[in-house]
Amino acid sequence: MPHPLISPLVSSILKTLNSLVLKEFGIAWGLKTDLENLGSTLSTIQAVLQDAETKRGKGEALKNWLRKLNDAAYDADNLVDEFMNEALRRRMDSERGINPQVSAFFSLRNRLIFRLKMGHKIKDMRDRLDAIAGEKNKFHLREGLVETGEVCGMQRGQTDSMVNESEIYGRTDEKEMIIEMLLNNSSDRDDDVSVYAMCGMGGLGKTTLAQLVYNDGRVKSYFELRIWVCVSVDFDVERLTRAILESIEGRGCSISNLDPLLRRLQEKLFGKRFLLVLDDVWNEYHEKWDRLKNALKCGAKGCTVIVTTRIQQVALIMATLPIHHMAHLSEDDSWSLFKRRAFGNERTEENLQLDLIGKEIVKKCKGLPLAIKALGSLMQFKRSESEWLSVKENETGICQMMEVVFYLP
Protein backbone atom coordinates (compact mmCIF):
# COMPACT_ATOMS: atom_id res chain seq x y z
CA MET A 1 0.00 0.00 0.00
CA PRO A 2 1.57 3.37 -0.99
CA HIS A 3 2.39 5.92 1.69
CA PRO A 4 0.04 8.91 1.87
CA LEU A 5 1.37 12.27 0.74
CA ILE A 6 3.75 13.74 3.32
CA SER A 7 3.41 17.38 2.19
CA PRO A 8 0.18 18.09 4.16
CA LEU A 9 1.73 16.67 7.34
CA VAL A 10 4.89 18.78 6.97
CA SER A 11 2.75 21.85 6.23
CA SER A 12 0.71 21.16 9.36
CA ILE A 13 3.86 20.88 11.50
CA LEU A 14 5.20 24.15 10.09
CA LYS A 15 1.93 25.93 10.82
CA THR A 16 2.09 24.75 14.43
CA LEU A 17 5.75 25.72 14.79
CA ASN A 18 4.97 29.19 13.45
CA SER A 19 1.81 29.66 15.50
CA LEU A 20 1.80 32.44 18.07
CA VAL A 21 1.21 29.90 20.82
CA LEU A 22 4.51 28.15 20.22
CA LYS A 23 6.40 31.36 19.43
CA GLU A 24 5.45 32.81 22.81
CA PHE A 25 6.25 29.51 24.53
CA GLY A 26 9.64 29.26 22.82
CA ILE A 27 10.57 32.80 23.86
CA ALA A 28 9.44 32.28 27.46
CA TRP A 29 11.34 29.01 27.88
CA GLY A 30 14.51 29.82 25.98
CA LEU A 31 13.75 27.43 23.12
CA LYS A 32 13.02 29.98 20.41
CA THR A 33 16.17 29.27 18.35
CA ASP A 34 15.77 25.48 18.65
CA LEU A 35 12.20 25.62 17.37
CA GLU A 36 13.14 28.01 14.56
CA ASN A 37 15.97 25.71 13.46
CA LEU A 38 13.62 22.73 13.39
CA GLY A 39 11.21 24.76 11.25
CA SER A 40 14.04 25.75 8.92
CA THR A 41 14.99 22.12 8.32
CA LEU A 42 11.38 21.17 7.63
CA SER A 43 11.03 24.08 5.22
CA THR A 44 14.08 22.89 3.32
CA ILE A 45 12.54 19.43 2.97
CA GLN A 46 9.13 20.81 2.06
CA ALA A 47 10.61 22.80 -0.82
CA VAL A 48 11.28 19.58 -2.78
CA LEU A 49 8.46 17.39 -1.50
CA GLN A 50 6.06 18.10 -4.35
CA ASP A 51 8.61 16.97 -6.92
CA ALA A 52 9.61 13.93 -4.82
CA GLU A 53 6.02 12.78 -4.39
CA THR A 54 5.39 13.17 -8.13
CA LYS A 55 8.36 10.87 -8.85
CA ARG A 56 7.75 8.41 -6.00
CA GLY A 57 7.14 5.49 -8.41
CA LYS A 58 10.31 6.04 -10.44
CA GLY A 59 12.94 4.44 -8.21
CA GLU A 60 13.33 2.28 -5.11
CA ALA A 61 15.87 4.64 -3.56
CA LEU A 62 13.47 7.58 -3.74
CA LYS A 63 10.66 5.46 -2.27
CA ASN A 64 12.94 4.48 0.62
CA TRP A 65 13.84 8.14 1.16
CA LEU A 66 10.17 9.12 1.28
CA ARG A 67 9.48 6.23 3.67
CA LYS A 68 12.19 7.45 6.07
CA LEU A 69 10.89 10.99 5.77
CA ASN A 70 7.34 9.80 6.41
CA ASP A 71 8.37 8.08 9.67
CA ALA A 72 10.40 11.08 10.81
CA ALA A 73 7.59 13.50 9.96
CA TYR A 74 5.12 11.60 12.14
CA ASP A 75 7.61 11.62 15.02
CA ALA A 76 8.21 15.34 14.51
CA ASP A 77 4.44 15.91 14.53
CA ASN A 78 4.18 14.10 17.88
CA LEU A 79 7.05 16.16 19.30
CA VAL A 80 5.52 19.45 18.20
CA ASP A 81 2.15 18.36 19.62
CA GLU A 82 3.90 17.67 22.92
CA PHE A 83 5.24 21.23 22.90
CA MET A 84 1.87 22.66 22.01
CA ASN A 85 0.07 20.77 24.76
CA GLU A 86 2.67 21.83 27.30
CA ALA A 87 2.41 25.45 26.18
CA LEU A 88 -1.38 25.45 26.53
CA ARG A 89 -1.28 23.60 29.86
CA ARG A 90 1.19 26.01 31.42
CA ARG A 91 -0.77 29.04 30.22
CA MET A 92 -4.08 27.63 31.45
CA ASP A 93 -2.51 26.70 34.83
CA SER A 94 -1.17 30.21 35.16
CA GLU A 95 -4.56 31.75 34.39
CA ARG A 96 -6.33 29.44 36.83
CA GLY A 97 -3.88 30.29 39.61
CA ILE A 98 -2.47 26.78 39.93
CA ASN A 99 0.87 26.84 41.75
CA PRO A 100 1.26 30.59 41.24
CA GLN A 101 4.21 30.85 43.62
CA VAL A 102 7.20 28.53 43.67
CA SER A 103 10.51 29.15 45.42
CA ALA A 104 13.10 30.84 43.22
CA PHE A 105 15.41 27.82 43.48
CA PHE A 106 12.88 25.22 42.36
CA SER A 107 11.42 27.52 39.72
CA LEU A 108 14.86 27.99 38.16
CA ARG A 109 15.73 24.31 38.57
CA ASN A 110 12.52 23.12 36.90
CA ARG A 111 12.97 25.63 34.10
CA LEU A 112 16.52 24.46 33.39
CA ILE A 113 15.53 20.78 33.50
CA PHE A 114 12.61 21.33 31.15
CA ARG A 115 14.69 23.39 28.74
CA LEU A 116 17.48 20.80 28.74
CA LYS A 117 15.11 17.88 28.21
CA MET A 118 13.13 19.49 25.41
CA GLY A 119 16.24 21.01 23.84
CA HIS A 120 17.71 17.51 23.50
CA LYS A 121 14.52 16.21 21.94
CA ILE A 122 14.50 18.98 19.35
CA LYS A 123 18.21 18.50 18.58
CA ASP A 124 17.78 14.75 18.08
CA MET A 125 14.81 15.33 15.80
CA ARG A 126 16.61 18.00 13.82
CA ASP A 127 19.73 15.80 13.42
CA ARG A 128 17.50 13.03 12.08
CA LEU A 129 15.74 15.36 9.64
CA ASP A 130 19.02 17.01 8.61
CA ALA A 131 20.39 13.61 7.66
CA ILE A 132 17.31 12.91 5.56
CA ALA A 133 17.41 16.37 3.99
CA GLY A 134 21.07 15.83 3.12
CA GLU A 135 20.12 12.90 0.87
CA LYS A 136 17.65 14.87 -1.26
CA ASN A 137 20.34 16.09 -3.67
CA LYS A 138 20.92 12.52 -4.87
CA PHE A 139 17.50 12.56 -6.51
CA HIS A 140 17.94 15.89 -8.37
CA LEU A 141 14.67 17.22 -6.96
CA ARG A 142 13.37 20.61 -8.03
CA GLU A 143 12.28 23.12 -5.45
CA GLY A 144 8.66 24.08 -5.84
CA LEU A 145 6.68 27.12 -4.73
CA VAL A 146 5.29 26.79 -1.22
CA GLU A 147 2.19 28.61 -0.11
CA THR A 148 3.25 31.54 2.04
CA GLY A 149 0.72 30.69 4.72
CA GLU A 150 2.14 27.20 5.07
CA VAL A 151 5.67 28.30 5.78
CA CYS A 152 5.18 31.58 7.54
CA GLY A 153 2.31 30.52 9.78
CA MET A 154 -0.47 32.78 10.91
CA GLN A 155 -0.17 36.45 10.20
CA ARG A 156 -1.39 38.75 12.92
CA GLY A 157 -4.12 41.20 12.05
CA GLN A 158 -3.20 44.88 11.81
CA THR A 159 -4.53 47.17 14.52
CA ASP A 160 -5.41 50.85 14.24
CA SER A 161 -6.05 53.77 16.57
CA MET A 162 -9.84 53.89 16.10
CA VAL A 163 -12.05 53.01 19.08
CA ASN A 164 -15.76 53.04 19.94
CA GLU A 165 -15.76 54.17 23.57
CA SER A 166 -19.41 53.27 24.09
CA GLU A 167 -18.46 49.58 23.88
CA ILE A 168 -15.62 49.77 26.43
CA TYR A 169 -16.17 48.83 30.08
CA GLY A 170 -13.96 48.90 33.14
CA ARG A 171 -10.93 50.81 31.83
CA THR A 172 -11.67 54.33 33.11
CA ASP A 173 -9.33 54.23 36.12
CA GLU A 174 -6.46 52.75 34.10
CA LYS A 175 -7.02 55.27 31.32
CA GLU A 176 -6.97 58.23 33.74
CA MET A 177 -3.84 56.97 35.48
CA ILE A 178 -1.95 56.64 32.19
CA ILE A 179 -3.10 60.03 30.88
CA GLU A 180 -1.99 61.69 34.11
CA MET A 181 1.40 60.05 33.71
CA LEU A 182 1.68 61.26 30.11
CA LEU A 183 0.74 64.85 30.91
CA ASN A 184 3.11 65.08 33.86
CA ASN A 185 6.00 63.22 32.28
CA SER A 186 9.16 65.28 31.85
CA SER A 187 12.46 63.69 30.94
CA ASP A 188 15.71 64.92 32.44
CA ARG A 189 17.11 65.66 28.99
CA ASP A 190 15.49 67.52 26.13
CA ASP A 191 16.34 64.75 23.66
CA ASP A 192 15.24 61.82 25.83
CA VAL A 193 12.10 59.74 25.31
CA SER A 194 10.14 57.85 27.96
CA VAL A 195 8.75 54.39 27.30
CA TYR A 196 5.64 53.10 29.01
CA ALA A 197 4.75 49.41 28.60
CA MET A 198 1.32 47.81 28.94
CA CYS A 199 1.77 44.09 29.53
CA GLY A 200 -0.79 41.28 29.68
CA MET A 201 -2.08 38.14 28.03
CA GLY A 202 -3.86 38.11 24.68
CA GLY A 203 -7.45 39.32 24.73
CA LEU A 204 -7.09 41.34 27.92
CA GLY A 205 -7.55 44.73 26.23
CA LYS A 206 -4.06 46.22 25.87
CA THR A 207 -4.79 47.62 22.41
CA THR A 208 -8.16 48.95 23.54
CA LEU A 209 -6.64 50.78 26.51
CA ALA A 210 -3.95 52.27 24.26
CA GLN A 211 -6.67 53.42 21.85
CA LEU A 212 -8.61 55.09 24.66
CA VAL A 213 -5.53 57.01 25.78
CA TYR A 214 -4.48 57.88 22.22
CA ASN A 215 -7.88 59.41 21.37
CA ASP A 216 -8.43 61.38 24.57
CA GLY A 217 -8.83 65.12 23.97
CA ARG A 218 -6.21 66.05 26.57
CA VAL A 219 -3.66 63.79 24.88
CA LYS A 220 -4.46 65.26 21.46
CA SER A 221 -3.87 68.79 22.82
CA TYR A 222 -0.67 67.93 24.67
CA PHE A 223 1.22 66.17 21.88
CA GLU A 224 2.09 67.89 18.61
CA LEU A 225 2.34 64.52 16.89
CA ARG A 226 0.54 61.28 17.62
CA ILE A 227 1.67 58.15 15.76
CA TRP A 228 0.20 54.64 15.83
CA VAL A 229 2.12 51.65 14.46
CA CYS A 230 1.17 47.96 14.69
CA VAL A 231 4.44 46.05 15.16
CA SER A 232 3.44 42.38 15.52
CA VAL A 233 6.00 39.56 15.43
CA ASP A 234 8.46 41.07 12.92
CA PHE A 235 10.35 43.97 14.53
CA ASP A 236 11.95 45.18 11.32
CA VAL A 237 13.50 48.60 12.01
CA GLU A 238 13.31 49.70 8.36
CA ARG A 239 9.64 48.73 8.05
CA LEU A 240 8.74 50.41 11.34
CA THR A 241 10.64 53.60 10.49
CA ARG A 242 8.83 53.80 7.18
CA ALA A 243 5.47 53.20 8.92
CA ILE A 244 6.16 56.01 11.40
CA LEU A 245 7.10 58.40 8.59
CA GLU A 246 3.99 57.48 6.60
CA SER A 247 1.84 58.16 9.66
CA ILE A 248 3.43 61.60 10.13
CA GLU A 249 3.39 62.62 6.46
CA GLY A 250 0.11 61.01 5.48
CA ARG A 251 1.56 59.41 2.38
CA GLY A 252 3.84 56.59 1.29
CA CYS A 253 7.61 56.86 1.72
CA SER A 254 9.84 55.93 -1.22
CA ILE A 255 13.19 55.94 0.64
CA SER A 256 14.61 52.43 0.41
CA ASN A 257 17.69 52.47 2.68
CA LEU A 258 17.64 52.50 6.47
CA ASP A 259 20.14 55.31 7.16
CA PRO A 260 18.33 58.01 5.13
CA LEU A 261 15.04 56.73 6.56
CA LEU A 262 16.26 57.26 10.12
CA ARG A 263 17.63 60.70 9.26
CA ARG A 264 14.32 61.67 7.66
CA LEU A 265 12.52 60.50 10.79
CA GLN A 266 14.70 62.64 13.02
CA GLU A 267 14.01 65.66 10.82
CA LYS A 268 10.27 65.15 11.27
CA LEU A 269 10.46 64.62 15.02
CA PHE A 270 13.11 67.21 15.90
CA GLY A 271 11.96 69.60 18.62
CA LYS A 272 8.39 68.24 18.68
CA ARG A 273 6.58 66.58 21.57
CA PHE A 274 5.26 63.29 20.20
CA LEU A 275 3.39 60.21 21.36
CA LEU A 276 4.25 56.98 19.55
CA VAL A 277 2.21 53.82 20.16
CA LEU A 278 3.96 50.57 19.23
CA ASP A 279 1.16 48.04 19.45
CA ASP A 280 1.67 44.27 19.87
CA VAL A 281 5.45 44.01 20.25
CA TRP A 282 7.17 40.60 20.42
CA ASN A 283 10.81 41.59 19.84
CA GLU A 284 13.33 40.48 22.50
CA TYR A 285 16.46 41.80 20.79
CA HIS A 286 17.95 44.82 22.56
CA GLU A 287 19.89 45.96 19.52
CA LYS A 288 16.81 46.29 17.29
CA TRP A 289 14.97 48.40 19.83
CA ASP A 290 18.07 50.48 20.62
CA ARG A 291 18.51 51.33 16.93
CA LEU A 292 14.96 52.66 16.65
CA LYS A 293 14.99 54.33 20.06
CA ASN A 294 18.17 56.27 19.28
CA ALA A 295 16.43 57.80 16.27
CA LEU A 296 13.55 58.91 18.50
CA LYS A 297 15.78 60.89 20.89
CA CYS A 298 15.33 64.17 19.12
CA GLY A 299 11.99 65.51 20.33
CA ALA A 300 10.95 68.00 22.99
CA LYS A 301 10.54 67.22 26.68
CA GLY A 302 7.66 64.88 27.41
CA CYS A 303 7.97 62.64 24.36
CA THR A 304 6.59 59.19 25.16
CA VAL A 305 6.41 55.77 23.52
CA ILE A 306 3.59 53.46 24.61
CA VAL A 307 4.32 49.77 24.04
CA THR A 308 1.76 46.97 24.27
CA THR A 309 3.05 43.43 24.63
CA ARG A 310 2.10 40.00 25.89
CA ILE A 311 5.64 39.20 26.97
CA GLN A 312 7.09 40.39 30.27
CA GLN A 313 10.66 40.21 28.96
CA VAL A 314 9.79 42.59 26.12
CA ALA A 315 8.31 45.07 28.58
CA LEU A 316 11.44 44.86 30.76
CA ILE A 317 13.71 45.49 27.76
CA MET A 318 11.82 48.50 26.43
CA ALA A 319 10.23 50.30 29.39
CA THR A 320 11.86 53.23 31.17
CA LEU A 321 8.79 53.81 33.38
CA PRO A 322 7.06 51.32 35.71
CA ILE A 323 5.30 48.60 33.70
CA HIS A 324 1.50 48.62 33.69
CA HIS A 325 0.13 45.09 34.13
CA MET A 326 -3.36 44.88 32.68
CA ALA A 327 -6.19 44.14 35.08
CA HIS A 328 -9.00 41.70 34.37
CA LEU A 329 -12.51 43.15 34.24
CA SER A 330 -14.60 43.10 37.41
CA GLU A 331 -17.70 40.90 37.55
CA ASP A 332 -19.95 43.94 37.12
CA ASP A 333 -18.04 45.26 34.11
CA SER A 334 -17.84 41.78 32.63
CA TRP A 335 -21.60 41.39 32.91
CA SER A 336 -22.24 44.83 31.40
CA LEU A 337 -20.06 44.00 28.39
CA PHE A 338 -21.62 40.56 27.94
CA LYS A 339 -25.16 41.93 28.30
CA ARG A 340 -24.56 44.58 25.64
CA ARG A 341 -23.34 41.94 23.19
CA ALA A 342 -25.96 39.32 24.02
CA PHE A 343 -29.06 41.51 24.34
CA GLY A 344 -28.21 44.74 22.53
CA ASN A 345 -30.88 47.30 23.36
CA GLU A 346 -33.46 44.75 24.47
CA ARG A 347 -34.93 45.05 27.94
CA THR A 348 -33.33 42.26 29.95
CA GLU A 349 -35.98 42.58 32.70
CA GLU A 350 -38.06 40.32 30.48
CA ASN A 351 -35.25 37.72 30.46
CA LEU A 352 -34.49 37.34 34.17
CA GLN A 353 -33.77 33.63 33.89
CA LEU A 354 -31.37 34.25 31.00
CA ASP A 355 -29.68 36.91 33.15
CA LEU A 356 -29.00 34.34 35.86
CA ILE A 357 -27.62 31.82 33.40
CA GLY A 358 -25.64 34.53 31.59
CA LYS A 359 -23.91 35.63 34.79
CA GLU A 360 -22.74 32.07 35.33
CA ILE A 361 -21.41 31.96 31.75
CA VAL A 362 -19.59 35.29 32.29
CA LYS A 363 -17.80 33.94 35.37
CA LYS A 364 -16.13 31.33 33.19
CA CYS A 365 -14.55 34.13 31.11
CA LYS A 366 -12.46 35.25 34.10
CA GLY A 367 -12.65 38.93 33.25
CA LEU A 368 -11.15 38.50 29.78
CA PRO A 369 -12.84 41.09 27.51
CA LEU A 370 -12.26 39.29 24.21
CA ALA A 371 -13.72 36.04 25.57
CA ILE A 372 -16.72 37.92 26.98
CA LYS A 373 -17.36 39.59 23.63
CA ALA A 374 -17.07 36.27 21.80
CA LEU A 375 -19.53 34.50 24.07
CA GLY A 376 -21.87 37.49 24.21
CA SER A 377 -22.00 37.63 20.42
CA LEU A 378 -22.69 33.88 20.33
CA MET A 379 -25.59 34.19 22.77
CA GLN A 380 -27.14 37.01 20.74
CA PHE A 381 -28.71 34.42 18.45
CA LYS A 382 -29.95 32.14 21.24
CA ARG A 383 -33.11 33.03 23.10
CA SER A 384 -34.31 29.85 24.82
CA GLU A 385 -33.27 28.84 28.33
CA SER A 386 -32.28 25.39 27.09
CA GLU A 387 -29.81 26.90 24.60
CA TRP A 388 -28.26 29.09 27.28
CA LEU A 389 -28.04 26.22 29.76
CA SER A 390 -26.37 24.09 27.09
CA VAL A 391 -23.63 26.71 26.67
CA LYS A 392 -23.21 27.18 30.42
CA GLU A 393 -22.77 23.45 31.00
CA ASN A 394 -20.40 22.97 28.06
CA GLU A 395 -17.17 23.37 30.03
CA THR A 396 -15.03 21.83 27.29
CA GLY A 397 -16.38 24.13 24.60
CA ILE A 398 -15.83 27.24 26.73
CA CYS A 399 -12.28 26.17 27.60
CA GLN A 400 -11.49 25.57 23.91
CA MET A 401 -12.91 28.95 23.01
CA MET A 402 -10.80 30.57 25.75
CA GLU A 403 -7.66 28.92 24.35
CA VAL A 404 -8.44 30.29 20.89
CA VAL A 405 -8.97 33.77 22.36
CA PHE A 406 -5.67 33.62 24.29
CA TYR A 407 -3.72 33.10 21.06
CA LEU A 408 -5.91 34.87 18.52
CA PRO A 409 -3.66 36.15 15.72
> Quick one: pLDDT at residue 58?
63
Residue spans of alpha helices (H) in 215-276 = 217-222, 237-249, 258-269
pLDDT for 304 equals: 96
The shares of helix, strand and coil residues in the chain, as percent rounded to the nearest 5, are: 60, 5, 30
pLDDT at 145: 40
Helix or strand run (H / E) with residue 199? strand 194-199
* CA-closest candidate to residue 247, choices 267, 274, 222, 229: 229
- For the packed helices 237-249 and 286-296, what is the interaxial angle rounded to 10 degrees? 30
- Distance (Å, rounded) from C-alpha 346 to C-alpha 379? 13
Model pLDDT, residue 402:
62
DSSP secondary structure code for residue 367 in this structure: T
Supply the pLDDT for residue 279. Answer: 96
Instruction: Name the residue among 254, 252, 297 with its Cα closest to residue 276.
Output: 297
Kindly report, as residue ranges, where domains of CATH 3.40.50.300 are found in the chain: 169-325
What pLDDT does residue 104 have?
Answer: 40
| Positions in the chain whose pLDDT score sits under 70 | 1-5, 20-21, 56-58, 90-112, 142-157, 186-191, 345-350, 395-409
Record: fold of 169-325: Rossmann fold (3.40.50)
Asked if 61 and 29 touch (Cβ cutoff 8 Å), the reply is: no
CA-to-CA distance for 300 and 194, rounded, in angstroms?
11
Tell me what pLDDT residue 64 has: 85
- Write b or e for each residue in 184-218: b if 16 or more Cβ atoms lie within 10 A of its Cβ, otherwise e: eeebeeeebbbbbbbbbbbbbbbbbbbbbbbebee
pLDDT of 91 reads 64
pTM of the full structure = 0.63
* Crossing angle for the helix pair 20-28 and 32-54, to the nearest 10 degrees: 140
Per-residue pLDDT at 409: 46
pLDDT for the residue numbered 9: 80
Are 345 and 58 spatial neighbours (Cβ–Cβ below 8 Å)? no
pLDDT of residue 108: 46
Q: Are 223 and 274 in contact (CB under 8 A)?
A: yes
pLDDT at 151: 32
